[in-house]
Amino acid sequence: MNLQRRRQILSGILAIAGIGALIANQQPQTLAQLPESGYQAPSFTLQSISGREIKLAQFRGRPVMLNFFASWCPPCQAEAPDLVKMYDRYQGKIIFLGIDMTETDSPADVSAFMKKVGMTYPVLLDGMGKVARQYDVISIPTSFFINAQGKIVQRVEGAMNQQTLQTDLAQLSRPEVQT
C-alpha cells in the first residue's frame, strides 16, 4: 500500500473516531437545559425580598410571568414602570415574579428600586445566580411567560415596551394557552 493511501485511510479512521466521540459525549438535552418556548419551565425555590420561601411549583394551575432583572440595569429600569402597570391590570389572572440577579445587587438596592417604581409583586433573590443559569439568562432583562401547566410559551430577551408586554400577557391569559 502506498503512503498516500495509508494517509487517506488513517484520516478516514480519525474522522470517524472524532464523529463517534462527539456523539458519545453529547448529553441528551433535558427540559431543564431548554428554557425555551414549548418546554417545561425549570422548577426552583428562592427567598423573596420579604424573606418568604417561594417555589415556582406553588403556582401550578395559574399562568406566571418571570422577569429576571437587576436594580442597576438601565433597560430593567426603563421596563419596570410598564411591568407595574401590567401587574395592576392582570393581578389575580397572572402571577408576576421578579427575580433579581443579586450576584451584583444588594437586598437594600432591590428594596429601594421596588419602592421607587412602585413594584408590589413578589421579588425573589437569586443570590448565587442558580436560577438564572437554569433559565440560561445571559442578558437582562429576560422574561418568561409560563402557562398554567408550567410550560414556557414565550421567552423575551431585552426590555419590553408596554405594547409588547400587553400583547404577550393578553396571549398568556387566553384560556387555550392554559392547556
pTM of the model: 0.78
Per-residue pLDDT at 140 exceeds 50: yes
Residue 25 belongs to a domain: no
pLDDT tens-digit readout, 19-74:
443 334 444 444 444 577 788 999 999 999 999 999 999 999 999 999 999 999 99
75-79 — which CB contacts under 8 Å span 24+ positions?
Answer: 75/140, 75/141, 75/158, 75/159, 76/140, 76/141, 76/159, 77/113, 77/117, 78/159, 79/141, 79/159, 79/160, 79/165
Cell of 126: 437569586
pLDDT tens-digit readout, 72-99:
999 999 999 999 999 999 999 999 999 9
For residue 104, the model assigns a pLDDT of 81
Residue 12 belongs to a domain: no
Of residues 27 and 136, more confidently modeled: 136
Residue 23 belongs to a domain: no
Bond into 107 cis (ω within 30): no
Residue 4 belongs to a domain: no
CATH of the domain at 137: 3.40.30.10
| Count of domains for the chain | 1
Residue 143 belongs to a domain: yes
Judged by DSSP in three states, 6 sits in: helix
Residue 41 belongs to a domain: yes
Residue 129 belongs to a domain: yes
Q: Which domain holds residue 89?
A: 30-178
Residue 5 belongs to a domain: no
